[in-house]
């Protein structure tokens, strides 16, 4: 599986971002919170993802940018967990909710667990719809 995070996979649409925060469902594995919505089937990419680190929580821009870079990298390495098992398209927003900066290895494990939680929750919701 390709481990890239290209331009088409980045969440840029203001419309989708607004919809995410208004209608999105959420899964949390401290220090990362995932907000997601299902996208229409006519999307070109399976997943679109964005990363956010609130200024309120992490004060300096240097720290915020480093955490965002780490989150994007950790997602890029772990996205195979969701892309292989789910058939629908989704928009993701990863929000970092801790004032402390975690090391890469710890963040990697947290992201892995978060994506597993998301996968389980989605499978459960799909079963409830049937």
Q: Is 96 exposed, middle or buried (0-12, 13-18, 19+ CB in 10 A)?
A: buried
CB atoms near residue 60 (< 10 Å): 9
CATH at 14: 3.30.230.10
125 within some domain: yes
32 within some domain: yes
1 within some domain: no
Structural domains in the chain (count): 1
Cα separation, 30 vs 110, in Å, equals: 7
* pLDDT for residue 69: 97
* pLDDT for residue 110: 97
Q: pTM of this prediction? A: 0.94
**Per-residue model confidence as pLDDT tens digits over 22-65:** 999 999 999 999 999 999 887 778 899 999 999 999 999 999 99
* pLDDT for residue 1: 57
110 within some domain: yes
**Per-residue model confidence as pLDDT tens digits over 71-105:** 999 999 999 999 888 888 999 999 999 999 999 99
4 within some domain: no
Domain that holds residue 53: 10-129
User: Going by DSSP bridges, is the β-strand pair 47-52/32-38 parallel, antiparallel, or unpaired?
Assistant: unpaired
* pLDDT for residue 130: 67
């Amino acid at each position: 599986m390709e481990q890239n995070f290209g331009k088409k996979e980045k969440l840029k649409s203001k419309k989708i971002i607004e919809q995410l925060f208004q209608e999105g469902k959420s899964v949390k594995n401290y220090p990362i919170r995932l907000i997601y919505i299902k996208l229409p089937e006519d999307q070109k990419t399976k997943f679109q993802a964005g990363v956010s680190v609130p200024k309120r929580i992490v004060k300096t821009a240097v720290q915020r940018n480093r955490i965002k870079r780490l989150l994007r990298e950790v997602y890029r390495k772990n996205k195979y967990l969701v892309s292989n098992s789910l058939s629908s398209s989704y928009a993701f927003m990863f929000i970092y909710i801790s004032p402390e900066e975690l090391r890469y290895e710890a963040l990697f494990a947290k992201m892995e667990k978060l994506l597993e939680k998301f996968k389980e929750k989605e499978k459960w919701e799909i079963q409830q719809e049937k």
